[in-house]
Amino acid sequence: MTESPGFILVADDDAVNRLLLARGLERDGHRVRAVANGLEALEALRDGLFDCVLLDVLMPGMDGYQVLECIRSEPRFRHIPVIMISALEDVDSVVRCIEMGAEDYLPKPFDPVLLRARINAGLARKRLHDLEQEYLEQVGHVAAAAADVETGTFESRQLDGVARRDDALGQLARVFQQMAAEVQARERLLKQEVRQLRIEIDEARAARQVAEITQTEYFRDLQAKASELRLGPDTQE
C-alpha cells in the first residue's frame, strides 16, 4: 500500500495491459479508471478529478500523442502528470512524448517496482502543484479580504478557512481577522457615538465665563461703540 493513494486514469487499447495495470495500481491502494482509447480517455478526464494519467502511445483512433496534446492545451488538465506507456525499444516516441510535456514513461512489459516509483513520483508532483494552487487561492482570499475591509464589506468569517491553516499564511489570516474585528468594533462604537452626538455645554460655567468678559470696563466701552467701530459705507470715501 502506498502512503498517499490517488485517482489514476489508465488508457490502453490492450485489455490485458489494462487489467495488469489496474490490478497493480489497486493493490497499491489507488483508485483506478481504465479506458480503451483516446476519446474515452478525454471523456473520463472531463468527468473526474484525476491525479495521474497512464497513457498508451499507440491506440486506434485518437492515439496517445493526440490525447497528450489535448491534456496539455486544456488549462483544467495541464497540471495532471501524464506517464506514457511505450515499448522499451521505441526511444523516439518516448523522446517525442517528453518533448510534448509528458512527465515520464513506462516501458512495456511492466515492472511493478518501476510502475510504483513512476506513479508515486507523478502523484508527488501533482500534490505539490495542488498545494501550491491552494496556497495561491488562499493568498487571494486574504487579498480580497483586504479589499473588502477598504470598502467596508468585510465579514470576519470569510477568512475562517485560511485561518485554520497552521502555517504563516494561517497566522496572517488570524491576525488580519483579529485586527479587522477590532477596527470594526471601533467603528461601530464611533457610529454609536455619532448617533448619540450630544453637544453638552455647562451653561452655568459658560455664563460665568461670559460674565467675566462682559463685566469689564473694556467690554462695556467696546459694546457702547461697537456699531461705530464697524465699517460703514463711509469707510471708502
* Contact letters for other proteins, residues 56-95 (x by CB under 8 A): ----------------------------------------
Smallest CA-to-CA distance from 123 within 177, 164, 83 is with: 83
Q: Where are the alpha helices (DSSP H) in 15-61?
A: 15-27, 38-47
Question: Would you count residue 226 as binding other proteins (CB under 8 A)?
Answer: yes
Specify the stretch interacting with other proteins by CB under 8 A; choose among 18-26, 78-86, 133-141, 214-222. Answer: 214-222
Smallest gap from residue 191 Cβ to other proteins (A): 6
Quote the CA–CA distance of 26 and 5 in Å, as a whole number. Answer: 9
| Least distance to other proteins, CB of residue 209, Å | 5
CA distance 38 to 19: 17
Stretch that binds other proteins, among 64-72, 76-84, 128-136, 213-221 (CB under 8 A): 213-221
Q: Check residue 152 for interaction with other proteins (CB under 8 A).
A: no
* 151 makes contact with other proteins (CB under 8 A): no
Of 7, 105, 111, the closest CA to residue 55 belongs to 105
Q: How far apart are the first and last CA of the chain?
A: 109
**C-alpha distance from residue 97 to each of 17, 42, 84, 187 (Å):** 20, 17, 7, 60
Which C-beta is closer to other proteins: that of 113 or that of 199? 199
Q: How far apart are CA 206 and CA 93, in angstroms?
A: 97
**Chain-centre distance for alpha carbon 114:** 35
Q: Which of residues 159-188 bind other proteins (CB under 8 A)?
A: 187
CB of 122 to other proteins, least distance (A): 54
Q: In this complex, which beta carbon is closest to other proteins, that of residue 157 or of residue 230?
A: 230
Q: Is 1 near other proteins (CB under 8 A)?
A: no
Nearest CA to 41 out of 20, 65, 17 is that of: 65
Nearer to other proteins, 157 or 225 (CB): 225
* Angstrom distance (rounded) from CA 228 to CA 225: 5
**Residues at the interface with other proteins (CB under 8 A):** 187, 190-191, 194, 197, 199-202, 205-207, 209-210, 213-214, 218-219, 222-223, 226-227, 229-233, 235-237
